[in-house]
Chain A
Amino acid sequence: MKNNLQRENGRWGQRVLMPEQDHHLRCRNFDEVNLGLSEEAAIAEARRCLQCKSAPCIAGCPVAVDIPAFIAAVAGTRMAEAARILLADNTLPAICGRVCPQEEQCEGLCVLDRKGQAIAVGYLERFVADWALRHPEQLAPTVIPKASGKKVAVVGSGPAGLTVAGELARMGHEVIIYEALHDTGGVLRYGIPEFRLPKEIVDIEVARLAQLGVCIECNVVVGKTITLPKMRNEHDAVFIANGAGLPTMLNIPGENLKGVFSANEYLTRVNLMGAWRQDHATPIPRSRQVVVIGGGNTAMDAVRTARRLGAARAVILYRRSEAEMPARIEEIKHAKEEGVEFVMLTAPLEILGDNQGWVNGLRCQAMRLGEPDTSGRRRPVPVEGKVFELEAQVVVNAVGTGANPLLTATAPELGLNRWGNIEVDTTGQTNLAGVFAGGDIVRGGATVILAMGDGKRAAGAIDTYLQRCKGRPLM
C-alpha cells in the first residue's frame, strides 16, 4: 500500500487535504468549516507516517501525545486502540485536533515537513477523537480510582482548568472547578467561534469530566464570591487558571465610540451569549463594513464572525506584514477564502465617528518593516506622509489581552510579574504553598494547547505535593 502511494504521489506521498464546507456557503453560516477526514483518508494519511524512532513530533507537543503510536494504530485500523493512546496523554483531543497550531508544534518537527508534506497529525487527532465520541461503547469504561481523600479547587474552566481537573480526577483526587461565567469552557466557549469549535464538543468534553467525578460550579467569581485565602483553607491545593481576561486598549482617539468593541466583547456576545442566533436576547450590530485590528487567531475569529453576521466588507488591519502574523496558517487561509480583506503594514491612528457618537471609519498610517525588535520580528515603522482613511461601522480591537487583576488584587501575597501575570516555577507552583497556576494568567495571551500543557504539568506537581503534605497550610 505504502509503495503504491509513493509511486503515485512522489516518494513520500501527498499530505491529505481537509474536506471543507464550501466557502461561498460557509461565510454565511456558523456551521463548522472543517468537515473531518473520512476513515479511508485517515488510514491512508496514517500510512504515510515514517514511524521515526526518534519521534521528533512528540517533542513538539506540549502534552507529549505518543503521536507515532496512535498513528500506527490508525494505519492498522485499530481505532479503539488509537483512541486509548490519544486519550491517555490528552484530556481534550477533539478540541486540540481543531485548534492547535500544529504547524509550529508536532507537524513543524515532522521529518516530512521538509518536503512540505508533514503528516497531518492534527487532522488525524481530530479523526480519532471524533471516532471516540461516536463510539463510546468501544472505549474502556471510565474507571474512577480509589479516592485519595484530597480536595483540589480549580479556578476557571478553560483549557488549563479542564486539563488539570481531568488529570487530578484520574489520580483519585476530588476536584471542584469554580467558573466565573454562567457556562463552562472559558475561552473555548466565549472566544473560539462555533464554526471552528462546535460548542457540542466542549459540552461532551465537560461531560466526560463530570463522569470522572469533577464538579463544576458556575457563577462563582473567585476574588469576589470567594477569596483565594478562603479557598485555600477549604481545599488541600488550588490551581489558578482564570485566563487573560483583560482587553489591551489601543489608546487612540475614538476608542470609546459606539461600534468599537474589544475582541473579547464582540466574540463573547456572539459565542457565549448566542447573539448570532434568533432565540437569544443579546444583540450585536450587523454592519456592512467591519475592520478588525490585529493579526492573531482572535483577530481571525472576529473578522470571520463579522462576515458571517453579514459584513460585505470585512477587513484585517495589521501593522506588520502577513509573514509576521501570529495566526495559524489555516485561519488565514480560511479567512481569505471567505472574502476577508487583508490590509497589511497599516496601523490605526484614530477611530472616526459621526455626530451621534457612532464609529464611521478609521484614519490609518501606512507602515514599512524596519530592523528586528526584541521579539525577533521586524519592527513596523511609519511611512512618512502616507495616511489614509477606511470606512467602518464596526471596529474590533484584537491586539491582545493582559492579566485580569480581579483575583490577584484580592491576594496581595501572591507573587506577580510586572505585567500582573502570576509567577510560577517550571511545575506551575506559585510562591504560596499549595497554590499552583497555569494558562494565560501566567503566560499572557497564548494558546489552548500551551494552557493544557500547563494543566498537565501542574497536575503532576499537585499530586506530588498532596502526597507529601499532611495538613492544609494556613494562609
Chain B
Amino acid sequence: MFEIIENTILAPNVHRLVVRAPRIARVRQPGQFVIVRADVHGERIPLTIGDADMAAGTITLFVQAVGTSTLQIVHTPVGGALQDVAGPLGSATEIEQWGRVACVGGGLGTAVLYPLAKALAEAGNEVTTIIGGRSAPYILLEDELQAFSRKVIVTTEDGSHGRQGFVTAALQELMEDPRRCPAVVFAVGPVPMMRAVCELTRPERIRTIVSLNPIMIDGTGMCGGCRVRVGEETKFACVDGPEFDGHLVDFKLLTDRLSMYREEECRMLSQLPEELRNQIVTVRR
C-alpha cells in the first residue's frame, strides 16, 4: 500500500497527490510514469511522475478525474493509501542542451510537461513555456513553471486569463521571431493540440517531442495494448516512449485507439451519482 501524504485540488477535477513510494522516488527521472491501482478491483492507470522528493521518499502525481478509476484515485484522502504504485516506467526524457526550447502544455498535459520543463531548464536550456486551457481555472502550475521559465505565456479559449486563443498561435509568434525561435519544442496535451503543434513546426523542421498517453495495462511491454505508429514502425509507448518524435507519430491511429472503450466508459459513468458524473462530463466535454 502506498500512503497519500498530500491531496490538493489544482483545478476542477485535477488533484496533486503526494504519495509515499521511496524506491520510485530514489530512481525516477523526468518523463517517466507509474501505474496506479486505487484498490483491488481497480484498473491499472498510467500517471506521469510530476516530481519526487528523494529525502522524504515521496513522488508527486497530477491526476485528472476523467472516469471512474481516476475519480477513485483523486478521492483517496490524506492518510489513505493507493493499493498499487509500480514504476518508474517508460524511458526518461532525453535532456540535452539545445539552447532555446519551447515547452507547450494543454490542459492536464501541463502537469506532464512540468518535470520535463524543469529538467530542461536545469540542464541550461532557455525555456519558454506556453500553457493553455479552456478558461482561467483550468490553467495549471503557472507559478511553478514561472520559477524556471524565461517566460510563461498563458492562453485561454475564452480569454479569461492570458491571451485569448490556442497555444499554437502563441507558438507561431515565437517561431516567427528569429531571436526567440526555439531549436526544440516539447508538446504535451490533448491529441488535437499535439497534432496542431506538430503541423506548425513540421514545415520549419523544428524538432518536436510529444508525450503520448495510449491505453495501457502492464506498462512493461508485455501486452502491446499501448502500441503507436511512429514512422514506419509500431512502438510500445510504455517502454519505447512515452515521448516520441511528433513529426513521425500517427495521431489518427492514436485517437482511434484511445476511443476503444468509449462505450464502456460511458456505461461506467452512467452508474455514478449525478453530481460526480456532471463534474467529469464537464471536464471531458
Contact = CB atoms under 8 A, between A and B. Distances in A.
A and B co-occur in one complex: yes
Interface stretch (A44-52, A127-135, A219-227): A219-227
B223 A180 contact: no
Interface in A218-250: 218-221, 224-226, 245-247, 249
B96 interface: no
Interface string A264-278: 110011000110000
Interface in A191-230: 218-221, 224-226
A220 B219 CA distance: 12
Given A225-B86, A283-B261, A273 B217 contact: yes
B64 to A, nearest CB: 17
Interface residues on A, range: 35 or more
A159 B32 CA distance: 30
Interface stretch (B36-44, B98-106, B146-154): B36-44
B222 interface: yes
A245 B222 contact: yes
A404 B220 contact: yes
Nearest to A263: B223
B240 to A, nearest CB: 10
A220 B217 contact: no
B84 A219 contact: yes
A269 B41 CA distance: 12
B83 interface: yes
| Most chain A CB atoms below 10 A, which of B42, B219, B225, B257 | B225
B21 to A, nearest CB: 9
Interface string B254-276: 00110111001100100000000
A224 B88 contact: yes
B221 interface: yes
B60 to A, nearest CB: 18
B257 A256 contact: yes
Nearest to A357: B256
Nearest to B85: A219
Contact of A182 (B69, B83, B264): B83
A226 B37 contact: no
A265 B223 contact: yes
B224 A247 contact: yes
A220 B220 CA distance: 11
B256 to A, nearest CB: 3
B202 interface: no
Interface string A353-367: 000110000000000
A218 B84 contact: yes
Given A182-B83, A268-B222, A273-B43, A225 B227 contact: no
Interface string B30-53: 000000010001111000000000
B44 A180 contact: no
A299 to B, nearest CB: 16
Interface residues on B, range: 35 or more
Given A182-B37, A182-B83, A256 B253 contact: yes
B86 A279 contact: no
A201 B257 CA distance: 36
Contacts of A181: 86, 218
Interface in B10-24: 23-24
Contact of A221 (B68, B217, B220, B268): B220
Contacts of A53: none
Interface string B196-215: 00000000000000000000
A274 B257 contact: no
B89 interface: yes
A182 B221 contact: no
A246 B222 contact: yes
A88 interface: no
A49 to B, nearest CB: 41
Contacts of A221: 86-87, 89, 219-220
Nearest to A266: B223
A218 B87 CA distance: 11
B95 interface: no
B253 A224 contact: no
Contacts of A225: 23-24, 27, 86-88
B8 interface: no
A281 interface: yes
A112 B37 CA distance: 51
21 contacts: A182-B37, A182-B84, A221-B86, A221-B89, A221-B219, A224-B220, A226-B27, A245-B218, A245-B221, A246-B221, A256-B227, A256-B229, A261-B225, A265-B217, A273-B44, A281-B268, A282-B44, A357-B259, A404-B222, A405-B221, A406-B239
Interface of A: 180-182, 218-221, 224-226, 245-247, 249, 255-259, 261-262, 264-265, 268-269, 273-274, 279-283, 356-357, 404-406
Given A180-B86, A182-B83, A264-B222, 15 more contacts: A180-B220, A181-B86, A221-B86, A221-B220, A224-B27, A224-B220, A225-B86, A247-B222, A249-B224, A258-B256, A281-B68, A281-B69, A357-B253, A406-B220, A406-B221
Interface of B: 23-24, 27, 37, 41-44, 68-69, 83-89, 217-225, 227, 229, 234, 239, 253, 256-257, 259-261, 264-265, 268
